[in-house]
Chains A and B, each alone.
Chain A
Amino acid sequence: MGFFNLPLISPRLTDFHGVYIPQADLAFAVPHFDEDIPLYLDPFLLWASPSQQDQALHTSLINAFNQLGDSYRRGNEDAAVDTLTRASECDEVGLGSSARRKGKRIGEKKAREILELFKRIPQYKQAGFRHFEEIQFFVEDISKDRISDIACNFLKSFLIDFTIDECQRLGIPTAASNVPDLYDYRQYGFSAAKGIQLPVNPETGDPLILVPKRWLRFTPWINYDDYYRHHCPLDEISHDPEDIGRVEVLAYNRDNYGAVERYIVEKERTFSDCANDPLFSQIPIVSAKRKLKLIQNLKTGKTDNADRDYEDALCQLLPSLLYPQLDFAAAQSRTESGAQIRDLVFYNNQSHEFLKHLMDGYGSRQLVFEMKNVAEVSRDHINQLNRYMTDTLGKFGVLVTRHPLKKARMQNTIDLWAGQRRTIVTLTDADIAQMVELFESGQRLPLDVVKKKYVEFTRLCPS
């Protein structure tokens, strides 16, 4: 177990338990222990899915929500408010923008305001919701994260089954955990469940629930901004654009359900355009070439923030070039002897024989690429990276810089190998250019250039 206690940078569930499969090959979004995944569960993706299972889940989700309204209208107001409040936050799934994997529930007043819609708007009173995302159009402060959390809570039982299946398949350890809010369709309410086998966050002991990535989007298909920009009849609200704020639009919607209905019909009609968002998307080739050009035209050093521009361009370029063989973990800054250092850290999925070799030979569970926009790499730069290469980063590091190392510096890296079996390879402008070329042509993997540099380095080492 000691092996797993080593600190990973931005630790993920899979890497932490020694499951080295790239995100691209997994059915779920891999949760991070210390932050949320910036994606949201979009209930519309379930509605639009060709799978009967997903459609049925959407139906039960909507039924659960409408049942709340029904119960509220029949006088069980406090119980309905309580249930909706409990449904409004789902920390176990870790979706959204929180940096601490903790969210806040809605207040009683807000819950009441939502449930009042079942009384106030005749269509909802009679037929209930078809898409409960519509609450965004009537109640303030309801956004994508809230929609996502409510959906997750009503679907939690399914998500738990999905999580258990995936964990068994991949061999991710689970522990008997307590889930305080589990929706029970027989009782139309939440109850606490004990002893469910779920993976846990090793730092906090909190259970984690996995979400299929086919349900995730950056913004829900039905969302307020889209409605406001393209569909809302603004002229009917006011002729003075200054007077049209969110509050005015919401007030208008409450009295003019037709406008919202037309929008929903339009969104349902174009459902085939609604697709889930990938967790990582590569930058387009044109943009990669532009970044390369920018890098090549930059001066070395710090003049005009050239170092910052160099690092920013590489931060966008390298994760795309190395995808999907390497999943991007974090771009992080650290300070060493007063100097600011920025580097890129990747998870080593061992999805390529070269990466497997790095894991076996150097113990690299993560790979570090340190960026240096300098005319000449100094002995200090090499030592800085060397000191950083510990524990999870293993004994392999990449120095991304402008020009090839001078002979003496090259000798430093060879000495490091000879003395401590540590390897530092250098990627220069020419190598980045070749990686971009391969990225464009698709003839070889850009990762092969890193391997090439590694092979070249090993040939220089004493045998």
Chain B
Amino acid sequence: MNREDIEQLEKVTGKIEGLHREITLLAKKSSSDGLNSFKLRLVNGALAAANEILGDEHQPVEGFTQFDADDVPSNSDVTVVLAVYLEELERYRSDLLTFSSGIHWYVFDDNTKLRAAEPKRLKGK
């Protein structure tokens, strides 16, 4: 693991969080409405990047890689999938962390360290 990997991971997570936040608003307005092709392209782009990082081991939804525009996915379909991806990305990130001196760290191949946020599932515990 090197710094670029973490940067990539954070970038993709940020992207999916943003999409999730916005599409959740649309889903609240009308859950069965379809997502237009532009937004769908954005979502698929983010999912492809996430799939590459997560690999087979951390595949969030079995047998699913991307949305097919022909299926006319609805706002709520997309929200659910993005939420599952966010969970899995966080689980993947947690697995990378090293805990020492009461702090979570990313430890890189060149033995440098970077302070990391604590895993979300531990928050408030």
Chain B positions 22 through 42: 1 when the CB is less than 8 Å from some CB of chain A, otherwise 0: 000000001011111100000
Known contacts A433-B32, A437-B30, A437-B32; decide if A455 and B71 are in contact (CB<8 Å). Answer: yes
User: Which segment, of A26-34, A40-48, A310-318, A443-451, faces chain B?
Assistant: A443-451
**Alpha-carbon distance A434/B74, docked complex (angstroms):** 9
Cβ-closest chain B residue relative to A450: B72
- Residue from A437, A443, A452 within 8 A of B36 (CB atoms): A443
Cβ-closest chain B residue relative to A456: B71
- Chain A residues contacting B35 (CB-CB under 8 Å) are 443-444
A437 touches B34 (CB 8 A): yes
B33 touches A438 (CB 8 A): yes
Cβ of B4 under 8 Å from chain A: no
Cβ-closest chain B residue relative to A430: B32
- Chain A residues contacting B30 (CB-CB under 8 Å) are 437, 440-441
Number of A-B contacts (CB under 8 A): 39
A452 touches B32 (CB 8 A): no
Give chain A's interface secondary structure class: helix
Cβ of B7 under 8 Å from chain A: no
**Alpha-carbon distance A444/B33, docked complex (angstroms):** 9
- Chain B residues contacting A433 (CB-CB under 8 Å) are 32
- Chain B residues contacting A451 (CB-CB under 8 Å) are 70, 72
A452 touches B71 (CB 8 A): yes
B34 touches A441 (CB 8 A): yes
- Residue from B36, B37, B68, B72 within 8 A of A449 (CB atoms): B72
A452 touches B70 (CB 8 A): yes
**Alpha-carbon distance A448/B32, docked complex (angstroms):** 14
- Chain A residues contacting B37 (CB-CB under 8 Å) are 444
Question: Size range of the interface on B?
Answer: 10 to 19
Give chain B's interface secondary structure class: loop
A47 to chain B, nearest CB (A): 43
A138 to chain B, nearest CB (A): 56
B71 touches A434 (CB 8 A): no
Cβ-closest chain A residue relative to B35: A443
- Considering only residues 347-386 of chain A, those with a C-beta below 8 Å from chain B are none
**Alpha-carbon distance A448/B72, docked complex (angstroms):** 7
**Alpha-carbon distance A370/B71, docked complex (angstroms):** 23
**Alpha-carbon distance A440/B71, docked complex (angstroms):** 19
- Chain A residues contacting B70 (CB-CB under 8 Å) are 448, 451-452, 455
- Chain B residues contacting A437 (CB-CB under 8 Å) are 30, 32-34
- Considering only residues 406-463 of chain A, those with a C-beta below 8 Å from chain B are 433-434, 437-438, 440-441, 443-444, 448-449, 451-452, 455-456
**Alpha-carbon distance A438/B68, docked complex (angstroms):** 17
B71 touches A443 (CB 8 A): no
**Alpha-carbon distance A452/B67, docked complex (angstroms):** 12
**Alpha-carbon distance A416/B37, docked complex (angstroms):** 33
Give the interface centre of B30, B32, B35, B72 by most chain A CB atoms within 10 Å: B72
A260 to chain B, nearest CB (A): 53
**Alpha-carbon distance A434/B72, docked complex (angstroms):** 9
**Alpha-carbon distance A434/B71, docked complex (angstroms):** 12
Cβ-closest chain B residue relative to A438: B34
- Chain A residues contacting B36 (CB-CB under 8 Å) are 443-444
- Considering only residues 33-85 of chain B, those with a C-beta below 8 Å from chain A are 33-37, 68, 70-72, 74
A441 touches B33 (CB 8 A): yes
A-B contact pairs, 20 of them (CB 8 A): A433-B32, A434-B32, A434-B34, A434-B72, A437-B30, A437-B34, A438-B34, A440-B33, A441-B33, A443-B33, A443-B35, A444-B35, A444-B36, A444-B37, A449-B72, A451-B72, A452-B71, A452-B72, A455-B71, A456-B71
Q: A434-B32, A443-B36 are in contact. List 16 more A-B contacts (CB 8 A).
A: A434-B34, A434-B72, A437-B34, A438-B34, A438-B72, A440-B30, A441-B30, A441-B33, A441-B34, A443-B34, A444-B36, A448-B34, A449-B72, A452-B72, A455-B68, A455-B70
